[in-house]
Chain A
Amino acid sequence: MMELIRKRLAEPGGWLRLAVVATVPAALGAAFVFAAGWLSPGRLTPATFMHTFLVTSGAQPGFRRNHAKGVCVTGWFDGNVETASFSRAALFTSMRSPVVGRFALAGGMPYQDDTPGTVRSLALRIMPAHGGEWRMGINDIPVFPAPDAATFNALLLASWPDSRTGKPDPTRMAAFLVQHPETKRALALISSRRLTSGFADDTYNSLDSFTFVNAQGIATPVRWAMVPEQKDHPPAPQEKGPDYLFNDLITAIGQGALHWHLIVTLGNPGDPTADPALPWSGPHRQLDAGTLTLTAAQSEDGGPCTGITYDPLVLPDGIAPSDDPIPAARSAVYSRSFTLRSGEIKPASAITPADVNPGAQ
């Protein structure tokens, strides 16, 4: 065979043909390397965010890379059939759909102390009997602090506490805010929000815009909130212990079911769907799309919310993404976090099974 190759190369154009043999696979390989981002170290990838959380929170094997401190909750969702004129999602017309949820605090530190001002989140997985599952992660702030993933990553790095003082470096943060007036505006809205006493009396907002699609295919931009039936109280005047928010939630849920209403805001023409850092202002039509009932809490250790990810793009037919760039970024980053933590050995969570069920020990 080598003899034949030598003979062919001696023919006119022989070397040119060999160059084609080498170039085509090499070009394909180079295109693959380019697509993988290995030639663009500045590209924002899920790995960028993993590194950011490693820098800001330290290595926390087995835990979610963000919203690391949490507990599982279970209950159900009863949809309001009238929502069907805006979304054909089965969960609005189904009989009671089981729910596995998770209350958590923002930040990658799984043992951080509870404080009144830390952003609280509620993640939900609503599972109608015949498919059409809906997952979401919603927060007790009015807007997302950044219009896009790159700005959010930069904000996390800028607000990372200095290792000596334990507080964010004010000059670094100030420099960031000069460059990002949109984040400055969003943070002003976030810091002026009305705080409540705990998880049970808090309102959680989608922040991101999505699209409801009805049976006729008519699309409506939406944002939504889970609004508590529980009467809200101001935060407790003094410190109540490192896990007080979670302990209060476990106590409240032990005394009786907790309820929230899914209040959907229908977008007006011109509402900024593509920018979750901007609120929708002015009058809006809202509908009560259903009731969430939570009846039990469980520790993450062995709990039903641990082995899944609250990917905001797990949407039923009838609810679709919008031009908001953040859900895609969250989906991609959560997927990476889920893969990493699922392959790691996780130490005990801050809220252990004994904390949730003291009598069971």
Chain B
Amino acid sequence: MLFRSMNARAALAALAMTLGLGLAAPAHAQHGQDPKPAVQTTNPSARNPTADSVTEDALLRQLQGGSHIGGRISIPDYKASILEQPQGRDYRQFREGYLPWIGGIAVLGMILALAAFFFTKGRIRLEHSEESGRKILRFNAFERFTHWLTAMCFIVLAISGLNYIFGKRLLLPLIGADAFSAWAQYAKFAHNYLSWPFMIGLVVMILVWIRDNIPDRTDINWIKQGGGLVGKGGHPPARRFNAGQKMVYWSVALGGLALAASGLVMLFPFSAADINGMQLAQYVHATVGVLLIAVMIAHIYIGSLGMEGAYDAMGSGEVDLAWAKTHHSLWVEEQQAKTASGPQIGRGGKSPAPAE
């Protein structure tokens, strides 16, 4: 039964083919009637065996900015199967066209703005009061350790990161190709390996300080008064962190997480992203990187040269009570209330003075 049906099917197929050929023949003859091709060909059949095959133009048109032209390859490596990825041009345009400008303007612009502020307004002086000389603990040893772990990693990461953009433009002509290459190699290792303690420090820092960095009503007032830097009226009241510090915190938290995420993609090339994903990771990493460097330059300035008395918070951990009352009046009140039953900080017993 089976055999007979197969036989019948084969017969039908043969019939169809005969008919098909019979039908195709006149069609082909008609095709031959077409006007002669423009070029003189010696190809006797005048037929293109690869007429139906894909062409580069068609494939490039299909792309329209996304993905890449790829196919099958006998090598067990996805990357090798990419025939063309025109997005490489966008990557080049970003890295050599936009990025040096974004980075240059962000970093130099911030330095110039801070210099202008320093030379017109000078340092923010410590306002002395009767409480000068007394100390209050602002950051404990663990907080300071986390801060400096992250900070030192960040400085190395920033310098080695900027080296990828500006090294060949600024340093290479000065020290020569061999010396620059050796430096860039070490800078790359430093960038790749110090990213780990940076990420650990970042996550710990985010967790330790998030409670004191939730925006609240005092921040609105603080911003309205320009943080006491701009305009008159002294320093507005603030809790442990004022609105400016909260902005630094959230820049580091969000920027740092973006850097960590895009950096991890780059630390494990092609394990989480394809070629376009790798390019995107670089766009994010480089842009956020230079912007965060600019923010950190401002942070370093205000924490050292820009404000008298501020460095102690991260140095010894203990700040002058007068400074604390000026800049973080609400926080001092809270701390003093906490220790009301224990040893008193500052002028214990008395109700805290109103914000001066």
Partners in one complex: no
Which residues of A line the B interface, CB within 8 A? none
Which residues of B line the A interface, CB within 8 A? none
